[in-house]
């Protein structure tokens, strides 16, 4: 079976060759670009299934390329996995806010990167649950229509905000969301949010969920995700 097409973007030839070799060995159809401009041109003409995008690029950098891709109706649905240097937490947050789907820091393990690529592609082909559809994960059930959460057969009482956060994260297991993205989804863009206010909500939510609390994972320096 022909696997998905992956566009890799990096201005370091050694990294491009490393990614090309390993992704091709997994059966993916791989194309490559060495600059943001080239990446945009190829993404718009080839429409890859996923882009592995380095943030530090000459000319149009990875963040600007992400912004352009996500604002174009022809490319906005292409998943993006960012490659970042260690210590670039601000850039990671910005990239996720712009619409990137995941990230991995350099130096990276090729096995980990391939696993991330596979995970993002799996998420892409899954249909999101309908707005009012129940979500069941292990011993946790979430019923949006009834505003009901059940853990191991017992009903858990949540506030409106706690329920909104849980439902938002659980609809997209494995996706990393910043604190601003979480509160924008729950309260709307005009809701004033601080890192502390989101963290407090998450602490209370985990406590109420009991054994299901660890399903909400902290991604240091970035935000939170629901465990796959």
CA–CA gap between residue 48 and residue 10 (Å, rounded): 16
Q: For the domain that residue 83 is a member of, what is the CATH number?
A: 3.40.50.2300
Residue 171 near residue 135 (C-beta atoms within 8 A): yes
Token reading at 141: 């059930």
Q: Helix (H, G, I), strand (E, B), or coil: what is residue 219?
A: strand
In this structure, the answer to whether residues 115 and 195 fall within a common structural domain is no
What DSSP letter does each residue of 84-126 carry, written as one string? EETT-HHHHHHHHHHT--EEEEES--HHHHHHHHHHHHHHHHS
- Strands of the sheet containing 154-156, edge to edge, are 135-137, 140-143, 148-151, 154-156
In this structure, the answer to whether residues 35 and 56 fall within a common structural domain is yes
Residue 184 near residue 190 (C-beta atoms within 8 A): no
Q: Side-chain half-sphere of 88: how many Cα atoms within 13 Å?
A: 20
**DSSP annotation of 49:** S
CA–CA gap between residue 4 and residue 50 (Å, rounded): 8
Q: Side-chain half-sphere of 111: how many Cα atoms within 13 Å?
A: 0
In this structure, the answer to whether residues 10 and 105 fall within a common structural domain is yes
In this structure, the answer to whether residues 42 and 70 fall within a common structural domain is yes
CA–CA gap between residue 196 and residue 121 (Å, rounded): 32
In this structure, the answer to whether residues 110 and 198 fall within a common structural domain is no
Q: Side-chain half-sphere of 119: how many Cα atoms within 13 Å?
A: 18
Helix (H) or strand (E) holding 140, with range, is strand 140-143
**DSSP annotation of 198:** H
What range defines the domain where residue 172 resides? 135-226
Q: For the domain that residue 151 is a member of, what is the CATH number?
A: 1.10.10.10
**DSSP annotation of 215:** G
CA-based torsion, 79, 27, 173, 143: positive or negative: positive
Q: Is residue 99 included in any domain, yes or no?
A: yes
User: What is the structure's pLDDT at 226?
Assistant: 92
CA–CA gap between residue 176 and residue 226 (Å, rounded): 8
Q: Is residue 172 included in any domain, yes or no?
A: yes
| Number of independent structural domains in the chain | 2
User: What is the structure's pLDDT at 91?
Assistant: 87
In this structure, the answer to whether residues 36 and 95 fall within a common structural domain is yes
In this structure, the answer to whether residues 112 and 147 fall within a common structural domain is no
User: What is the structure's pLDDT at 58?
Assistant: 86
Q: Which of the listed residues 125, 156, 177 is the one where a domain comes to its end? A: 125
Cis omega before residue 107 (within 30°)?
yes
Token reading at 49: 């299934």
User: What is the structure's pLDDT at 72?
Assistant: 86
Query: pLDDT per position in the chain (228 positions), as tens?
Result: 558 999 999 999 999 999 999 999 999 999 999 999 999 999 998 899 999 999 999 889 999 999 999 888 888 889 999 998 866 788 888 888 888 988 998 888 999 999 989 988 887 665 455 556 788 888 899 998 788 999 999 999 988 888 989 999 998 888 888 888 888 777 655 455 566 788 888 999 999 999 999 999 999 888 999 987
């Amino acid at each position: 079976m022909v696997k998905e097409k992956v566009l890799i973007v990096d201005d370091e030839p050694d990294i491009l060759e490393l990614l090309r070799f390993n992704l091709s060995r997994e059966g993916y159809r791989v194309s490559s670009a060495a600059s943001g401009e080239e990446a945009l041109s190829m993404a718009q003409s080839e429409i890859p299934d996923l882009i592995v995008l380095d943030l530090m690029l000459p000319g149009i950098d990875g963040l600007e390329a992400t912004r352009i891709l996500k604002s174009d109706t022809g490319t906005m649905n292409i998943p993006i996995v960012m490659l970042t240097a260690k210590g670039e937490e601000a850039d990671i947050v910005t990239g996720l806010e712009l619409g990137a789907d995941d990230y991995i820091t350099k130096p990276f393990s090729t096995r980990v990167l391939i696993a991330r690529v596979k995970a993002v592609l799996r998420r892409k082909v899954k249909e999101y649950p309908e707005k009012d559809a129940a979500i069941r994960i292990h011993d946790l059930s979430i019923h949006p229509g009834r505003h009901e959460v059940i853990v191991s057969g017992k009903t858990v009482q949540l506030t409106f905000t706690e329920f909104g956060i849980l439902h938002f994260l659980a609809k997209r297991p494995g996706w990393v969301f910043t604190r601003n993205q979480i509160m924008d989804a729950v309260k709307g863009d005009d809701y004033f949010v601080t890192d502390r206010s989101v963290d407090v909500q998450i602490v209370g939510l985990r406590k109420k969920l009991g054994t299901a609390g660890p399903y909400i994972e902290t991604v240091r320096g970035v935000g939170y995700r629901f465990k796959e």
